[in-house]
Amino acid sequence: MEKDVHAHADSSPRNRVRARITGLEPKGPLVRLHLDCGFPLEALVTTWACEELALHEGDTVLVLINATAIHLMPVM
């Protein structure tokens, strides 16, 4: 089942990609989502948002990303 977590049609993110949640890692008030979009992607969401959206490992989601929110990290 795919979850469309896009709450507002007039939202500003222009980058959209479908992804499968491969892991959820609690980090205090945040949850790190491990995503498979054909490439690995990690995202931080609030614990509240994760619970409100009922996100679980294995779910397919539509990820919306603001261009200014993208951070590239070197592979270590």
CATH number of the CATH domain containing 26 = 2.40.50.100
Whether residue 50 contacts residue 24, with contact meaning beta carbons closer than 8 Å, is answered with: yes
Whether 28 is covered by a domain: the verdict is yes
Within-domain flag for 9: yes
List, in sequence order, the alpha helices (H) in 1-76.
Answer: 47-52
Is the pTM above the cut of 0.85? no
| Inside any domain, residue 74 | no
What confidence score (pLDDT) does residue 35 get? 97
**pLDDT tens digit sequence for 57-67:** 999 999 988 88
Residue 17 is part of which domain span? 2-66
Q: How far is CA 47 from the centre of its chain?
A: 12
Sign of CA pseudo-dihedral 48, 53, 55, 61:
negative
Q: Tell me the C-alpha distance between 2 and 60, whole Å.
A: 5
CA distance 59 to 32: 15
Name the pLDDT band for 14 (thresholds 50, 70, 90): confident
Domains held by the chain: number: 1
